[in-house]
């Protein structure tokens, strides 16, 4: 089975958006880069910030599109096309309204659920059949409040849950890179049991 060769974190560029819920994908790839002391470089031809890492015996690209969320596919399509990376070898990490903060879910394919970043990536790749890592941010409860909600920072307690989920989910990275997705799902979807006293 093909492993992941490109991990895309979705978000909006610039200081104004750094701490907003919509940038959860950026937080995840930043966390991966930090574990390997890797730094992102501006890559004009890929319309984003990219870093190339070696993890174990696997080489993987990390990408943060600088196109703003609604045009994320332009960046993903450019890097994937240049390095001949297939949709099945792409993992897109994004904020997920339908999951509570602290929850992480891995899935392949499906619709965009109104997420404009996913919508553009599906359009650019011509298929929804790429992997998604969904980071729960919760829902404001009212559809009309969604835009304002995703473009604001989480409350402190929510941020702590999201940060913990990001850190814990990095444990599934070796399986994602080797293509063992069922083992990755098991790791990502199982809550660690509290240690007995």
* Superfamily of chain region 6-186: Peptidyl-tRNA hydrolase (3.40.50.1470)
Task: Compute the distance between CA of residue 157 and CA of residue 76 in angstroms, rounded to an integer.
Answer: 32
Task: Compute the distance between CA of residue 102 and CA of residue 139 in angstroms, rounded to an integer.
Answer: 13
Task: Compute the distance between CA of residue 6 and CA of residue 23 in angstroms, rounded to an integer.
Answer: 18
Which residue in 22, 47, 94, 115 is the catalytic one? 22
pLDDT over threshold 70, residue 136: yes
Task: Compute the distance between CA of residue 189 and CA of residue 186 in angstroms, rounded to an integer.
Answer: 5
Residues of each annotated binding site for tRNA: 17, 68, 70, 116
Whose CA is closest to 131, among 115, 114, 105, 107? Answer: 107
Q: Check if 22 is active-site.
A: yes
Check residues 191 and 136 and name the one with the higher pLDDT. Answer: 136
Where are the domains positioned within the chain?
Answer: 6-186
Percent of the chain at pLDDT exceeding 90: 90
Residues of each annotated binding site: 17, 68, 70, 116
CA dihedral 17, 31, 120, 153 (to 10 degrees): -30
> What pLDDT, in 10s, does the model give residues 25-77?
999 999 999 999 999 999 999 999 999 999 889 999 999 999 999 999 999 99
pLDDT band for position 1 (cuts 50, 70, 90): low
Contact between 69 and 23 under an 8 Å Cβ cutoff? The reply is no
pTM reported for the whole predicted model:
0.95
Task: Compute the distance between CA of residue 145 and CA of residue 23 in angstroms, rounded to an integer.
Answer: 17
Task: Compute the distance between CA of residue 11 and CA of residue 48 in angstroms, rounded to an integer.
Answer: 11
């Amino acid at each position: 089975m093909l492993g992941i060769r490109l991990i895309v974190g979705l978000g909006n560029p610039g200081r104004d958006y750094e701490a907003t819920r919509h940038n959860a994908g950026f937080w995840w790839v930043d966390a991966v880069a930090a574990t390997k002391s890797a730094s992102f470089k501006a890559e004009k031809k890929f319309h984003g910030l990219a870093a190339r890492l070696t993890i174990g015996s696997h080489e993987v690209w990390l990408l943060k599109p600088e196109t703003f969320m609604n045009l994320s596919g332009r960046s993903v399509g450019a890097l994937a096309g240049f390095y001949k990376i297939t949709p099945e070898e792409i993992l897109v990490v994004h904020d997920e309204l339908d999951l509570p903060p602290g929850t992480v879910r891995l899935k392949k394919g499906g619709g965009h659920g109104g997420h404009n970043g996913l919508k553009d990536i599906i359009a650019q790749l011509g298929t929804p059949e790429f992997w998604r890592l969904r980071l729960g941010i919760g829902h404001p409860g009212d559809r009309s409040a969604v835009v304002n909600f995703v473009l604001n920072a989480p409350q402190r307690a929510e941020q702590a849950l999201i940060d913990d989920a990001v850190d814990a989910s990095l444990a599934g990275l070796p399986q994602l890179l080797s293509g063992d997705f069922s083992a990755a799902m098991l790791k990502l979807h199982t809550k660690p049991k509290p240690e007995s006293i």
